[in-house]
Structure 1
Amino acid sequence: MGFPTTYTQWVMECVKTVSYNIKINGEPTMPFDAARGLRQGDPMSAFLFAIGMEYLSRMLNALKEFHFHPRGDLASVIVLQACFARFSQSSGLQANLGKSSVYFGGVSQAVQESILHKLGSHLGQPGSYRTQAERAQLIKSVLFGIQAFWAQIYILHTKVLKLIKAHCMSYLWSGSSTITKKALVAWDNVCTPKSVGGLNLTNMYLWNRAAIAKHWWDIAHKQNKMWIRWIHSYYSKQQHMDSVPVPKQANWMVRKMFEARPLVANMQIQPTGKNTIRQIYYQALTARSKMPWKCIMYKNAARPKTAFTMWLWTDY
């Protein structure tokens, strides 16, 4: 990558001279050398990781036969695997095949089998072998996070939100990307807090509305941003924001923010608190009575699969 020889020697000296000692009965042992790597928490770790990923990124950019979002085909997989093999030889890093999976979408069964055969028998397709508890966590942490950014910027089309909901629901109950109506519990019940008997998954339609309503709340209560000052000077013109009519000449996004006023009209939101969207979201949920078994169900050492099965039994 073009680093000076002296700089490389300094870095390798830091990596190769790491030693540890252990306290036994309050007395430290003699120092012993580490087999490899830096100390845990070493500030240099982040920079070395960035250098390694920069090298991998340059190798991927140099590939002419591969694009980052290709249609699944064996040729692209072979090129990508060869690139990772060269990176492993240079860096000493090896992929753990036992923890690796292949995600397929819109690919024929024959192509899937050829790709899996090329990559190795240890790799498989994630989804059906995951438990429902693991799928719920994946939906909560990954699938929701993908659309959460766009939900805070745009009003997502209802058809798009329904399609996302259908895929999430099908994946939770069947482990498949194929949309199915098979469901043991209504999705509205699944997307409620655990205290009222749900799994605390996010209602994406309501979250999108809450995110846009948060922009309106910022307009009404904050003026420390340039775009908010511009809206006040151009649309409200010193009027109280609650009485300003929806400006017909404004663009679609501004009109939607004004139309979100009723959602936050009677809500109690902490002005200096964080997670304003979450405050609006939870207050917008339909009020339900709390379940007495919430603490017994979730505040224990049971495995997620067991907790999910018990929740299903109480809610089904």
Structure 2
Amino acid sequence: MEYCSRILYKVGTLPSFQFHSRCKHMKLNHLIFADDLLLFSKGDYNSICMLMSALKMFAETSGLQMSLGKSEMYLTGMTEDEISRIQQVTGFRIGSLPFRYLGAPMSTKRLKVVNDCEALIDKMCMRVKVVLHNINSICRNYLWHGSYDSNSPGYVAWDMVCTSKDHGVLGVRNILLWNQAAVAKHVWAISHKKDSLWVKWVHSVYINEANWEGYQPPTNASWVWKCICHIKDQLWPMIAINDATQFSIAKTYKAPLPNGLPWRYNKGYGIDFLFLSIDSFFGLL
């Protein structure tokens, strides 16, 4: 699939190829996940023919063929004649929006949480909350009672137990705080404009040329993006201690606030995050 990606990238460098309007800035004409391929272009006959020629070249070279029965195309703002002409050259059936990919709804319109995403979000959040709280609970029970399933309370507040050894306490890792420090890696990646599709997309769609440190998300931004921006505002001094080449979750977690005090878990944000690779957030925004 790497060879397929290189061919499609080459197609994007040709002067006659026209990108989709939302992909032009990043020069994005495809995404590959495992053996799934998503193609993007302007609804232009020549551009689509170029993409199909690239797939044909890949098939002839690798022996891997498209499954037309599992392939669909989604078109908007085009005449019936244009659609018919494109369908003849591709052989794909016409799909309708929204459709689901990996369980998430795909649409050209802003998704409605209640109708489109509520079940998926609830399922993800509940699993993450359970995992994070259970890890903290197991650690707390083992420390005070020597078993993981005790219901007896601890002798000292867990926030105090998790305070750094520099402050004379045990310094046990708080998984909820660690989770926030992990999310902060996304803030750092955006700040240093790392070579990532997700980072490029965020700069293109949300930030543009704005100052990232002082940036505030628009009211219509996604919930995930607002939470990342909140982590930025909350942990910026600790994020800034990382250099441009490498981010350390451990260093961020251990870093004190500017006043020298340890930072505390903010119950409003962060608990619903589990650290993922940067590119994996692309489909959630």
Q: TM-score range by the shorter chain?
A: 0.3 to 0.5
- The TM-score, its normalising length taken from structure 1, stands at 0.37
Q: Bigger radius of gyration, 1 or 2? A: 1
